[in-house]
Structure 1
Amino acid sequence: MIVEQIGEVLAEHWLTILAILGLIGVSGFFSGSETALTAASRARMHSLETSGETRAGTVSSLIERKDRLIGALLIGNNLVNILASALATSLLLSVFGDSGVALATLIMTLLLVVFAEVLPKSWAISTPDRFAMVVSPVVKVFVLVVGPLSSFINWIVRKIMALFGVTFASETSMLTAHEEIRGAVDLLHREGSVAKTDRDRLGGVLDLGELEVSDVMIHRTSMRMLNAEDTSEANVRAVLDSPYTRMPIWRGSTDNIIGIVHAKDVLRALADAANEPQRIDVTKIAQKPWFVPDTTSVPDQLNAFLRRKAHIAIVVDEYGEVEGLVTLEDILEEIVGEIADEHDTEVQGVRQEADGSVVVDGWVPIRDLNRALDWSLPDDEATTVAGLVIHESQTIPEEKQAFTFHGKRFIVMKRDRNRITRLRIRPADKL
């Protein structure tokens, strides 16, 4: 009896049933297209486009305005879903009476979830780039037709959001390119596809734009310098004993830097003087110093180094007083990590203890500590670990004082006058 009734329904309403099935298929097309186009790799599309793949160019043009694209696809998806549900409800009402509403709701929910959502989206997400290129010509035509309506709806949405204090520019992406790259690299690192060192190097490149030379410079208290008033023998010996190839030289005051002495120039002068250092005047072979403001951005300083073919610059504050020096190597180390050669001396700034704590010298940069231990201490308000403790505590702590912030317990081990010289850091949950 039921089979005969179903056969009569199919024979009488076959056109409506085909229309419903077709609309479900169109809904699946919209759902899969939305998933594929939003998941497609812009870098991959750009590479294919330069290789002559025209459909990749179509995908790139569509995802340049994601709000317009998604709005158009959602309009199309909801339109066909509502129409399919209305037809199914009308059909089942005519056959089963009032109970047809419940049947239509149950059947259409099942069909739409399986064939218009889960199946096409799973298919699209498995090969998003290929799927996106296949559907892009049709989607482009649809967006051209429905695009104005999508833009109008997006305008209404923005106005409504503005009433709640949420504003965003239409030309601004919700995620910047740097954030997308950083998020992808972090995710791949957690999955084990990217090594920590590679993640740190990529993160260093992305972070350069947020840094100033004052964040990466060698502070004046750590600078190795020559005194022009010392004997020639002492200055030559200081250059030869130094692990650095370039050293500033001052006269009268350390704020009065009069030149940069290069070890190669000293060796050349020493050879010309028949290995008699007392005949050498290091001030005459010193190169002219280059002074840069402490607020110079690191990318600008890197470009300036490359443009001037220089390796070292003296960093000064707004009053012209020397704050430190920055080298090309300092900037490169922000990307690749610590660079050591056979003449470098190892600095014991961070030491792991058996109890799980870490003993850190106060001058250690926060960025270096984060990179070494895979921590995430903030470096917006302070450059060194000691500076972070002073900033957070709003005081200059005494020895043995302890503070807890950012998930860590900081214990001041040693203080020299107003400088914190050594701290012990341990996780806050292991006190």
Structure 2
Amino acid sequence: MLFTILGILILISAYFSGSETGMMSLNRYRLRHLEKQKHRGAKRVSKLLARPDRLIGLILIGNNLVNVFASLVAGVIFNRYFGDAGILYAGLVLTLVILIFAEVTPKTLAALYPEQVAFPSSIVLSLLLKILFPIVVVVNWITNGILRLLGVSSEQREQHSLSSEELRTVVNESGALLHQRDQDMLVSILDLEKVSVEDIMIPRSDLVGIDVNDDWKKIQKQLTQANHTRVLLYRDSIDDVVGYIHARDALKLLSKNQFNKATLLRAVRELYFVPEGTPLNIQLLKFQHAKERIGLVVDEYGDIQGLVTLEDILEEIVGDFTTTMTPTTSDEVTLQPDGSYLVDGSASIRDINKEMSWQLPTDGPKTLNGLIIEYLEEIPKSNISLRISGYPVEIIDVAGNKIKTVRVMPEHFIDESPEEE
């Protein structure tokens, strides 16, 4: 009978140990989801976890109670077989038994299958909490008093919220739960706050517009051959921007036989200006609130630095559109037979890193040309080699004060420490 009682007490101890681990190992976000789905077990567990001090107090009261009684029963059994020395043997043997069968095994099982353990256990724990509520309250009152003496309040519970970095890790670790493309899109949304408008804008040197002071026939030809539905209009230079004309407006004028320079200027739409350094997540909201799709990026002096569109921001999330007229990274990076890559000097460093899985620095210049010039502190000549962040780079072609083409040899990459850089 004593052996039977001892076995039952060890099983009860294992139950309390497993329940504690199962409750605390639950995914809180999945638990909330199941609770919204009106899962009964999830509702019970959420109610218990609302006051973790009472839950832990209940489990520890039960666990310590059965362990103490188990030690008493084991002492009686071993005393009958080994006399006074049996007390020592009972402590050693019971410690090993409880450690294996009432602690490690049930807690490991509960950690592996928290829902299967926690949801059924919540039925018994809810009942025990009602029965032992006065004892639990007294114990918690004493322990909370001790915590207050140590400067800790039981109300200061951790808020289960995720930072953007933690959420990014959750998305990356979702595995088969999310398709790879969906994972990439979600991570791209989280990365919007790290990317500013100058990282994705069309630089000033690449802006294409129409000088309204040109001959009308030349303006007509430029409008008909434009690759975009929105065309910038300026006077003499891009610094004196008039606005932009939408192809739809030009077609309306043409259909009414009113298409001339005067009506074109009256149909010009006002430009929207964007301060450089604006994060993409902020600019996306600004585009939405202002109901704009295009904006000129200006610096602190008001000088035009480039142009950014709503489509550019969306491409950061979903990838390049098939209708884009700008060169893709695949067009700017060409694999050579020797394993090296010929890279266009105007290519975006962010795009290169993303597609080629390289680690070129992105905290400075935005293009490979700018990065090399900043590194050398001068405009180099052709056939000069250097190493940037561990990547051997050879300058192939320089023209017009710009590096046109470089050769990158990633197979000779050397991982440099920050001190070496």
Same fold flag (TM > 0.5): yes
Q: What is the CA–CA distance in structure 2 between the aligned matches of 1:151 and 1:316, rounded to whole Å?
A: 60
Task: Please tell me whether the aligned partners of residues 211 and 297 of structure 1 are also in contact (alpha carbons under 8 angstroms).
Answer: yes
Match of 1:180 in 2: 166
Measure how far apart 1:232 and its partner are: 2.1
SS in 2 for 1:46: helix
Q: What is the CA–CA distance in structure 2 between the aligned matches of 1:345 and 1:138, rounded to whole Å?
A: 65
Q: Which runs of 5+ in 1 are unaligned?
A: 1-9, 159-168
Q: What is the CA–CA distance in structure 1 between the aligned matches of 2:65 and 2:277, rounded to whole Å?
A: 57
> What amino acid does structure 2 have at the position aligned with 1:261?
I
Measure how far apart 1:311 and its partner are: 1.3
> What amino acid does structure 2 have at the position aligned with 1:244?
H
Measure how far apart 1:315 and its partner are: 1.0
Of 112, 135, 151, which residue of structure 2 is paired with 1:125? 112
Identity of aligned residues (%): 27
Q: What is the CA–CA distance in structure 1 between the aligned matches of 2:32 and 2:288, rounded to whole Å?
A: 29
User: Is 1:255 paired with 2:239?
Assistant: yes
Measure how far apart 1:244 and its partner are: 1.2
Q: Deviations over 1:199-256 (max 9, x none)?
A: 3212111111222222221111121122122222222222222221112212143222
Q: 1:23 to 1:115 in 2, by over 3 A?
A: closer
Q: What is the CA–CA distance in structure 2 between the aligned matches of 1:426 and 1:135, rounded to whole Å?
A: 59
Of 230, 243, 251, which residue of structure 2 is paired with 1:246? 230
Match of 1:286 in 2: 268
> What amino acid does structure 2 have at the position aligned with 1:352?
L
User: Is 1:422 paired with 2:409?
Assistant: no
Q: Deviations over 1:263-295 (max 9, x none)?
A: 222232233338xx7666533321111112113
Match of 1:112 in 2: 99
Moved more, 249-258 or 216-225: 249-258
Map 1:79-228 onto structure 2 (within 5 A): 94=79, 96=82, 104-105=91-92, 108-109=95-96, 111-126=98-113, 128-129=114-115, 131-136=117-122, 149=143, 176-189=162-175, 194-228=178-212
Of 34, 46, 51, which residue of structure 2 is paired with 1:48? 34
SS in 2 for 1:243: coil
Measure how far apart 1:421 and its partner are: 3.3
Q: What is the CA–CA distance in structure 2 between the aligned matches of 1:103 and 1:179, rounded to whole Å?
A: 51
User: Is 1:299 paired with 2:286?
Assistant: no
Q: What is the CA–CA distance in structure 1 between the aligned matches of 2:412 and 2:145, rounded to whole Å?
A: 51
Moved more, 22-31 or 379-388: 379-388
Task: Please tell me whether the aligned partners of residues 32 and 121 of structure 1 are also in contact (alpha carbons under 8 angstroms).
Answer: no
TM-score w.r.t. length of structure 2? 0.75
Q: Which runs of 5+ in 2 are unaligned?
A: 415-421
Paired positions, count: 398
SS in 2 for 1:403: strand
Q: 1:268 to 1:404 in 2, by over 3 A?
A: same
Match of 2:393 in 1: 410
Match of 1:164 in 2: none
Measure how far apart 1:102 and its partner are: 7.0
Match of 1:237 in 2: 221
Q: 1:272 to 1:188 in 2, by over 3 A?
A: same
Measure how far apart 1:118 and its partner are: 3.6
Measure how far apart 1:333 and its partner are: 0.2
Task: Please tell me whether the aligned partners of residues 10 and 66 of structure 2 are also in contact (alpha carbons under 8 angstroms).
Answer: no
Q: 1:45 to 1:377 in 2, by over 3 A?
A: farther
Match of 2:419 in 1: none
Measure how far apart 1:375 and its partner are: 4.1
Map 1:311-322 onto structure 2 (within 5 A): 311-322=293-304
User: Is 1:370 paired with 2:353?
Assistant: yes
> What amino acid does structure 2 have at the position aligned with 1:411?
E
Task: Please tell me whether the aligned partners of residues 270 and 280 of structure 1 are also in contact (alpha carbons under 8 angstroms).
Answer: no
Q: 1:16 to 1:188 in 2, by over 3 A?
A: closer
Task: Please tell me whether the aligned partners of residues 20 and 87 of structure 1 are also in contact (alpha carbons under 8 angstroms).
Answer: no
Match of 1:166 in 2: none
Q: What is the CA–CA distance in structure 2 between the aligned matches of 1:71 and 1:421, rounded to whole Å?
A: 67
Moved more, 85-94 or 355-364: 85-94
Q: What is the CA–CA distance in structure 2 between the aligned matches of 1:363 and 1:21, rounded to whole Å?
A: 70
Q: What is the CA–CA distance in structure 2 between the aligned matches of 1:267 and 1:336, rounded to whole Å?
A: 31
SS in 2 for 1:420: strand
SS in 1 for 2:192: helix
Measure how far apart 1:371 and its partner are: 2.9
Match of 1:27 in 2: 17
Q: What is the CA–CA distance in structure 1 between the aligned matches of 2:183 and 2:284, rounded to whole Å?
A: 21
> What amino acid does structure 1 have at the position aligned with 2:288?
L
Pairwise CA RMSD of aligned residues?
A: 4.2
Q: What is the CA–CA distance in structure 1 between the aligned matches of 2:253 and 2:103, rounded to whole Å?
A: 81
Task: Please tell me whether the aligned partners of residues 20 and 84 of structure 1 are also in contact (alpha carbons under 8 angstroms).
Answer: no
Q: What is the CA–CA distance in structure 2 between the aligned matches of 1:352 and 1:289, rounded to whole Å?
A: 40
Q: What is the CA–CA distance in structure 2 between the aligned matches of 1:52 and 1:117, rounded to whole Å?
A: 33
User: Is 1:336 paired with 2:336?
Assistant: no
Q: Deviations over 1:39-89 (max 9, x none)?
A: x251x33333333346535655777899x7998799779957985896588
> What amino acid does structure 1 have at the position aligned with 2:321?
I
Measure how far apart 1:103 and its partner are: 7.1
Q: What is the CA–CA distance in structure 1 between the aligned matches of 2:145 and 2:296, rounded to whole Å?
A: 53
TM-score w.r.t. length of structure 1? 0.74
Q: Deviations over 1:324-381 (max 9, x none)?
A: 111010000000011122x736552222223332222232223322332344545344
> What amino acid does structure 2 have at the position aligned with 1:351?
T
Q: Deviations over 1:135-163 (max 9, x none)?
A: 457778699857774897699699xxxxx
> What amino acid does structure 2 have at the position aligned with 1:26?
F
